[in-house]
Amino acid sequence: MKVLVLQLARLGDIFQTWPALRALQRQGAEVHVLVRPRFRAAAAGCDGIARIHEFQTDKILTPILKHPVEGLRPSLDELDALLHHLDSENFDKIINLSFSPLSSWMTFDLAMRANARSKPLATVGYTRHIDGSLAIPDDASAYFFAQVGYRAQTGATEAVNRLSLPRIFATIAGVDPVEADWRSPDNLGQLSSEINLPRDFVAIHIGASDEAKTLDALQWAAIAARLFRGTKLPVVLLGATGEIAKANSILCTSARLGVSSLISLVGKTDIAELFSILDRASLLVAGDSALVQIASLTGTKVLNLSSNTVSHWETGPAVSGSRILVYGETVPAADTVLSEALKLLIGVDPDLKASLNSDSHADRVVQGPLEPVTNFTNNAHVDFLWQLISAIYLGTPVPRADDSRIQSALQQWIEIRQIEYHQLSALRDNRGDAKQIGSILDRIDQLTQLLIEAEPRLAPIYRWWTTERIRFGPAPRVELLEKYIALNTQLEAVLLSLRENEERRDGQQLDL
Amino acid sequence: MKSTRENLHMTEQPNASSFGTLLAVPKSSKQLAAEADRLQLLVRLSDAAARIREETELIQRTSFADPAGRLLRILGEAVEEQRLGSVSLERDQK
C-alpha cells in the first residue's frame, strides 16, 4: 500500500510521528510524507519514510503576495502543480496528521482528484465533506478534535488528555507501534571536527519554538551553574542560531556565579548532529522543545521543565525514568532541578548517591513510550476529567460524580436532552410546527452551553457530543434526524451512567 | 459551530459552506527582523486574502466538486496560516 502522511506542523510533531511511520513501514506500506521545507531535516533521518515531499509555501504564496491581482493565477498554478504531483503518485491512503484547515482541504482535494480518476483513496484525519464542512472520518481524529485540539481553539490551558501525541498519531494511522520504533536514525551522523564533546555531560536546551515554553537566560544560567557544581559533569548548551545572544547571556551570568566552563554549541549544530550529541549525553534538561522529542528517539533521559500551558502528557519525554517538573508562574529552583537531575544521573556515577536527596519534586516519572495511562495523580479535579474522557472513549469505568452540584447539572442536562428527543421525534414524524420546533432546538443548544459554562466538569462530555454532531456531515434531512436522535440516546446513556454511578458507588462502563 | 437548527437546514439563510478557521496552528516564536517588515507582510497577506475572497465570490456557486473552488480555498487557508503567524514565509525560504 502506498501512503501519504501529511505532517505540516513543526519539528517536534514530525519527530513524534516517527514511531507511526516506522510501524506503517513494518506493515508493508510505502510511506511518503508531506512536510514544510524548513522542517524537512526532521523527516530526513527517519528510515520509515520512502520519500519526502514539500509544501513549498514561499513558491505558492510569493506571486499573490507580490501582486494580489496578477499574482492570483500564478499562485493557484503553483498549488495545482503540487497537488497534481501528489495525485500522480497514485496513493492508496492519505493520513492527515496535521489537524489544520489547510491540511483538511488538501486531503479533500486529493481525494476528489483520485475520485475523478476512479481511483479508490482512503483518508483518515481531518478532511472535508462535499459542501466544504469539516469531515472527521475516523474516531481517533474525532478524539483529537474533541479533547486535544479544543485547547488551541479556546485558549484553554488545562490539559486533560493523557494520551501522548505519538500514540494518537499511530492510532489515527491505524498501526500499533512497538518500543523499538522510538529509536535514532540507523546512521547517526558524524559530528563536525569543531565539536569536541566530553565523554559524559549534561545537555541543556535553552530554547523552544515559543519563549513561553522555556526559561529565560537568567533562569537557565542559575540552573546551568548549579548543575555543573552539583553533578561534577560538563554542561553543554544547545540551541538554534537565533538563540546565540541568549546563550552568551547565560555564559556571562554563569561566569558571574563562578562557573566559566560551560560549553556552548548554540547555533553550531544541525539536526543530524543534535541526534549524535544527544545520543552521547548523560541527560538532557529542557523546556517543552523539539529536543525532548529527539531525546525520546535517542533513548536519552530527560529532565523536562514543563510549563503548565503545555501538556506534558502529549509532548513530554518518552524515555523510561525521565522526570517532569511542571511550573506555573515560578520556575523550578536551581536546587530542585539539581535534585531531580541527580536522581537521573545515579546510573552514570554511583558516587552521586551521596548527594542525593530522596525527596522527589517530580510531577511525573515516565515509564516508557508505551506506558500505561495514568488515572490518578495528586490533582483529583483533573483526574475526574480524564477518567470521564477515558470512560467515553476507552471503555474504562465511569468515575464517581459525588457532589450535589454536578448531580444537579446532570439532572438538568438529562431533562434538556429529553425535550430535545421529543422535538426531534416530532420533526421526524412531521408533527407540530417546524418553525416552533426550530426555535425550541435553538433554545436547547443555548441552554446546554450555559449549563456547561456553569458546570465545566461536564465539558468533556459536551465536547464529545458536539464533535459527534459535527461528524454527521451533509445528508438528507430524514437521515440527519435519525442520526441526531441516535446520538441523543447515546448522550442519555452517558449522562445516566454518570448520575447513577453516584448512587451505585461502583464503576460502570459505558456501552457506546 | 452550527446549531441543531442550522444542521437540519431549518434556517432561511443559505448554509455557510465555510467551516472557518478550525484550529490555530501553533505559533512560531521567531519574530521578523523589523516591525516594518512584519507590518508590510501583514498588509500583503491581507491584500492576498481579500483578492482570494473576491475571486471566490465571482464563482457564482462555489462548489467544491469543482477543482477551482478547492484550489481557491486551499490558497486562502495557506494565506490565513501566514496571517496567524504560524509559519513565516521568510523562514520557509531558508
CB A48 within 8 A of CB A31: yes
Interface with chain B: mutation pick from A36, A54, A65, A97, highest number of B CBs within 10 Å: A65
- Which bin fits A205, alpha (ψ -120 to 50), beta or left (φ > 0)? beta
Residue B60 lies in a domain: yes
- Rounded Cα gap, residues A248 and B44, in angstroms: 36
Per-residue pLDDT of chain A (512 residues; tens, 9 = 90+): 999 999 999 999 999 999 999 999 999 999 999 999 999 999 999 999 999 999 999 999 999 988 888 999 999 999 999 999 999 999 999 999 999 999 999 999 999 999 999 999 999 999 999 889 999 999 999 999 999 987 766 767 678 899 999 999 999 999 999 999 999 998 877 777 778 899 899 999 999 888 888 899 999 999 999 999 999 999 999 999 999 999 999 999 999 999 989 999 999 999 999 999 999 999 999 999 999 999 999 999 999 999 988 899 999 999 999 999 999 889 999 999 999 999 999 865 555 555 555 567 889 999 999 999 999 988 899 999 999 999 999 999 999 888 899 999 999 999 999 999 999 999 999 898 888 898 999 999 999 999 999 999 999 999 999 999 999 988 898 899 999 999 999 999 999 998 876 554 445 566 56
Of A126, A128, A210, the CB nearest to B29: A210
Cβ-defined contact of A101 to B77 (cutoff 8 Å)? yes
Q: Is the residue at B69 inside a domain?
A: yes
Contact A210 B27 (CB under 8 A): yes
Nearest chain A Cα distance for residue B61, angstroms: 11
d(CA A442, CA A220): 53
**Helix (H) / strand (E) containing A235:** strand A235-238
- Contact assignment for B70 to A153 by CB distance below 8 Å: no
Query: A126 and A136 in contact (C-beta within 8 Å)?
Result: yes
Tell me: pLDDT of B39 over 80: no
Residue contact B77–A60, C-beta within 8 A: no
Residue B65: pLDDT above 90? no
Whether residue B52 lies inside any domain: the answer is yes
pLDDT tens for A18-64 read 999 999 999 999 999 999 999 999 999 999 999 999 999 999 999 99
pLDDT of B88 strictly over 50: no
B57: which chain A residues are within 8 Å (Cβ-Cβ)? none
Residue B10: CB atoms within 10 Å: 18
Any idea which residue has 488515572 for its cell? Answer: A375
Residue A54: strand pairing partners: A35
ipTM of the shown complex: 0.89
Q: What is the mean pLDDT of residues B19-46?
A: 59
At residue A163, φ and ψ (nearest 5 deg) are -95, 135
For residue A322, the one-letter residue type is S
Whole-number pLDDT of residue A144: 95
Cell numbers of A28, please?
508493508
Contact: B3, A209; criterion CB under 8 Å: no
Distance CA A245, CA B44 (A): 31
Q: What is the pTM of this model?
A: 0.87
Closest residue in B to A130 (Cα) is B64
**Contact between A103 and B73 (Cβ < 8 Å):** no
**Cell of residue A414, nine digits:** 438529562
Asked, for residue B72, whether it belongs to a domain, the answer is: yes
Nearest CB neighbour to B64, from listed A9, A60, A128:
A128
* Measured distance CA(A478)–CA(A484) in Å, rounded: 10
Q: Which of the following CATH numbers is that of domain A2-181: 3.40.50.1400, 3.30.950.10, 3.30.70.2660, 3.40.50.2000?
A: 3.40.50.2000
Closest CA to A23 of A52, A51, A44, A3: A3
DSSP classification of residue A66? H
Phi, psi angles (nearest 5°) of residue A124: -130, 155
Alpha helices in A281-403 (DSSP H): 290-298, 312-315, 334-345, 380-394
Distance (Å, rounded) from C-alpha A228 to C-alpha A431?
77
- Per the structure block, which three cell numbers stand in for A55? 509544501
Contact A108 B64 (CB under 8 A): yes
Count of pairs with CB atoms under 8 A, one residue in A, one in B:
178
Flag if B29 and A105 touch (Cβ within 8 Å): no
Count of CB atoms situated within 10 Å of the CB of B15: 14
- Which of B2, B18, B25, B42 should we substitute to test contact with A (largest number of A Cβ atoms within 10 Å)? B25
> Identity (one letter) of the amino acid at A357?
N
Q: Within 10 Å of residue A210's Cβ, how many Cβ atoms?
A: 18
Looking at beta carbons, which residues of chain A come within 8 Å of B21? 101
Q: Which residue range is the domain that position B81 belongs to?
A: 48-94
Chain position carrying cell 499562485: A75
Question: Is any Cβ of chain B less than 8 angstroms from the Cβ of A440?
Answer: no
Q: How far is CA A44 from the centre of its chain?
A: 21
pLDDT at residue A350, rounded to an integer: 52
CA-based nearest residue to A423, from A411, A414, A432: A432
Would you state the pLDDT for residue A509?
Answer: 63
**B23 to A211: CB separation less than 8 angstroms, yes or no:** no
Dihedral of alpha carbons A65, A70, A72, A76, sign:
negative
Distance CA A375, CA A502 (A): 19
Q: Which of residues 466-495 of A touch B (CB under 8 A)?
A: 466, 469-470, 472, 477, 480-481, 484
What is the per-residue pLDDT for B36? 73
DSSP class of residue A123? E
Q: How far is the C-alpha of A261 from the C-alpha of A251, rounded, in Å?
A: 8
On whether any CB of chain B is under 8 Å from the CB of A244, the answer is no
> How far apart, in whole angstroms, are the C-alpha atoms of residue A288 and residue A210?
9
Please state, as a whole number, how many other Cβ atoms lie within 10 Å of the Cβ of residue A156.
13
Decide if A245 touches B, using CB distance below 8 A: no
> Which of B4, B10, B74 lies at the smallest CB-CB distance from A109?
B74
CA distances from A473 to A131, A403, A492 (A): 9, 37, 22
pLDDT of residue A294: 97
Phi, psi of A33 (to 5 degrees): -130, 150
Q: Looking at beta carbons, which residues of chain A come within 8 Å of B50? A: 68
The strand pairing partners of A3, in sequence order, are A31, A93
Using the beta-carbon criterion (under 8 Å), do A112 and B65 form an inter-chain contact? Answer: yes
Q: B20-48 b/e with 16+ CB inside 10 Å = b?
A: eebbbbbeebbebeeeeeeeebeebbebb
Which one-letter amino acid corresponds to residue A49? I
Q: Taking CB atoms and an 8 Å limit, are B92 and A36 in contact across chains?
A: yes
Residue A483 neighbours by CB distance under 10 Å = 18
CB B80 within 8 A of CB B49: yes
Q: C-alpha angle with apex A58: A54 to A61, nearest 5 degrees? A: 115
3-state helix, strand, coil in chain B (%, to 5): 55, 0, 45
List where CATH 3.40.50.2000 sits in chain A.
2-181, 202-365
Q: Does A126 touch chain B (CB under 8 A)?
A: yes
From the list A100, A109, A132, which residue is nearest B23 (CB)? A100
Residue B11 has pLDDT above 60, yes or no: no
Q: What's the structural domain count of chain B?
A: 1
Per-position b or e across A170-184, b if 16+ CB within 10 A of its CB: bbbbbbebeeebbeb
pLDDT surpasses 50 at B24: no
Residue B87 φ/ψ region, left for φ over 0, alpha for ψ in the -120 to 50 degree band, beta for the rest: beta
Q: Considering only alpha carbons, which residue of chain A is nearest residue B52?
A: A72
Q: Is A113 on the interface with B (CB under 8 A)?
A: yes
Q: Which CATH architecture has domain A202-365?
A: 3-Layer(aba) Sandwich (3.40)
Query: How far is it, in rounded angstroms, from Cα A349 to Cα A342?
Result: 9
Q: Which of B64, B67, B87 sits opposite A36 (nearest CB)?
A: B87
Q: What is the pLDDT of residue B47?
A: 81
Per-residue cell: A73 = 493565477
Residues of B in contact with A434 (CB under 8 A): 10
